[in-house]
Amino acid sequence: MNIALFSDTFPPEVNGVATSVWTLYNVLKKNGHNVYVVTTNPYSKKLIREEDVIRIPGIKLKKLYGYIFARIYSRKTLKFLKDHDIDVIHINCDFSIGQFGWISQRMLKKPSVYTYHTMYEDYTYYATRGKIDRFAKWVVRDYFINLSYRSNELIVPSYKCKDYARRIGINSYINVIPTGINLDMFLNFKLKQEDKENFLKKYNIPLDSKIVLFLGRLASEKNVRELLGNFKAFIESKGDSKSYFVIVGDGPQRYELEDYAKKINISDRVRFIGKVSYENCPFYYSLADVFINASVSETQGLTYLEAMASKTIVLVKFDINLVELIKEGENGYLYQDKNEFIEKLWKILNFDTTYYSEVVNNSLKVIDKWGEEEFYRKVMLVYQKAIREFW
């Protein structure tokens, strides 16, 4: 099958959508399909082609976390897709490259699949800065409704997204397909003691410390500020002197968070590592004793899966999309307020080796259905349905 994937973001960018499209691209190719990715160009202002990846230049919007707004039409790219006789167009984004995807679908007269990856109502403040935000959310909602009816098949990554779609009035069939991840990358990683010690020395962390990790984008919807406040309360409540909070990632809120850590007097126990490549993420997960997250804007929570595959216990804020993934006390922990966070973090950090291993092993059993092969099987069924419907 010849498949075109349209996405506003793709590696080397590090985010959930880029990871999802990258995984889909690789698993489709591994199973013998011809796959072409149309995405933005973060390198230059030229249209370039890197093997099967076509990058369209655009304008970088710094206030929108470096989002690249590309041209919505490329004659050369459209000709390339026509020459390669695309069977199905899969649109994984909603704005510039997404619009080009819909134009391509119409002009090439091909079936389309649309994946709704992001709960944009949680992100409107980037554009509105709090002004007319209610109106902006209505616009985003209406926009999603219109896009969903353009496609032959609609995919969402979780039942949380499906429930949202139903609430705003979408009544077409919705395929719920969790994004697959390359679990082997995390399952097979072996943390070398020498590398761990070098990292701890570099960041002036005692060798016998407990590492509490957040890995992700540093933006307000990720709620890292709450984690900093909770970590301070944990230190004070339990008289803890061995735990260090390692924050991996970058984003528009980084400097604000660094200032906040200083303001609440815990900067000596917090380390901001900055942006790292996706290939290096297994190191940081494996380094940690516990992974924490307070975001309730996730459509799925890929970092939770990555942490669990890395054999690290997760402690994350309750959200409806986590019900299938995390079974309280069996394969991870959920919290709803500061007191729960404190007590559960203390419990995890003081587990004996046997019980820690038991929770980790339960995690590994649960995440099997998020493997990339299961992801591939379900997506192919949707492609086949879209083709049947279109013709």
Could you read off the pLDDT of 143-179 as tens digits, one per residue?
Answer: 788 878 889 999 998 888 888 889 888 888 999 998 8
Question: Could you give the CA distance from residue 56 to residue 42 in angstroms, rounded to a whole number?
Answer: 9
pLDDT tier for residue 197 given thresholds of 50, 70 and 90: very high
Contact 224, 247 (CB under 8 A): yes
Could you read off the pLDDT of 85-142 as tens digits, one per residue?
Answer: 999 999 998 889 999 999 999 999 999 999 988 665 555 455 555 555 566 666 777 7
Closest CA to 313 of 323, 324, 327: 327
Out of 138-152, 319-333, 346-360, the most confident range is: 346-360
Distances (CA, A) of 301 to 188, 201, 289, 320: 21, 31, 19, 11
What pairing do the DSSP bridges indicate for beta strands 67-70 and 58-61?
Answer: antiparallel
What's the pTM?
Answer: 0.77
Q: What does the DSSP assignment read for 184-210?
A: HHHHT----HHHHHHHHHHTT--TT-E
Q: Average model confidence (pLDDT) for the chain? A: 89
Contact 232, 245 (CB under 8 A): no
Mean pLDDT of 3-10: 95
Could you read off the pLDDT of 27-57 as tens digits, one per residue?
Answer: 999 999 999 999 998 778 889 999 899 999 9
- As a whole-number percent, the residues of the chain with pLDDT over 90 amount to 65
Could you read off the pLDDT of 96-111 as tens digits, one per residue?
Answer: 999 999 999 999 999 9
